[in-house]
Amino acid sequence: MGNLNFIDKLPHISECKQILKAAAMLDAILMPEWEYRYYSYNSQWDTNEQMASMRDGQGDHYFAIFSPNGLIIKGFDKEYELQHKVDRSDVVKRVPEAFNTFLAEPAFVMDQTTFCIWSVADQEGWSAGTVLGDHEYELLEILVGGAKYYHAWAQDYYEIALDIKLVEQVFDMKPINEDLLQQLNDELKLSDIEGEIAEIGYPDKDLNV
């Protein structure tokens, strides 16, 4: 199937934000050492901007920016680049001017880009610069699979038994309390992750999404 079939499955911007916050929050709990986490989220990236990212430690990654203009995501699939001649100009063609600052951000390693998709605020649907197959968007499967996808992935990656009901609570944005935290990682106290909760912008009794 073509890329439009995949990106047509992607949820609304607000749901993407919730999913990526949940993944980052769970990673922060399950893996306290930041350098070993896949998912991260910074709700205070810049004025009116929030940033989500994924790094697998092997080179594959994506960066996403939520702003008043909408949501744009660029990703890099190392295997795809090795198998195809990737022209970055083709990948980012048609990106609206409203996202130009994203394309110019050095931290997002734009010279390593195999896909770029975006959803403009107040408009329906998603767009892409280059037509790719579903497999080439594998890094974004969490946006389609949600809690179920994260649950299966985390059990494999972290080699743990994980109650999917706990994962679903986090994906539903249930505030983290000591009880929920202890069920996810009994080596942590709430005070240990207060910084992550604030950075992610995850809801807490003292915080809002």
Mean per-residue pLDDT pooled into runs of 10, the chain (209 residues): 70 97 98 91 96 92 98 90 75 91 92 93 89 85 97 96 97 95 95 96 66
Alpha helix locations (H) across the chain?
A: 3-7, 13-30, 78-83, 88-91, 100-103, 141-157, 164-171, 178-184, 194-200
Concatenating the DSSP letter of every residue in 49-96 gives EEEEEEE-SSS-EEEEEEETTEEEEEEE-HHHHHHS---HHHHTTT--
pLDDT of res. 1: 41
For residue 139, the model assigns a pLDDT of: 94
| Per-residue DSSP letter, 119 | E
- pLDDT on residue 205: 62
Predicted TM-score (pTM) of the model is 0.92
Q: How far apart are the first and last CA of the chain?
A: 35
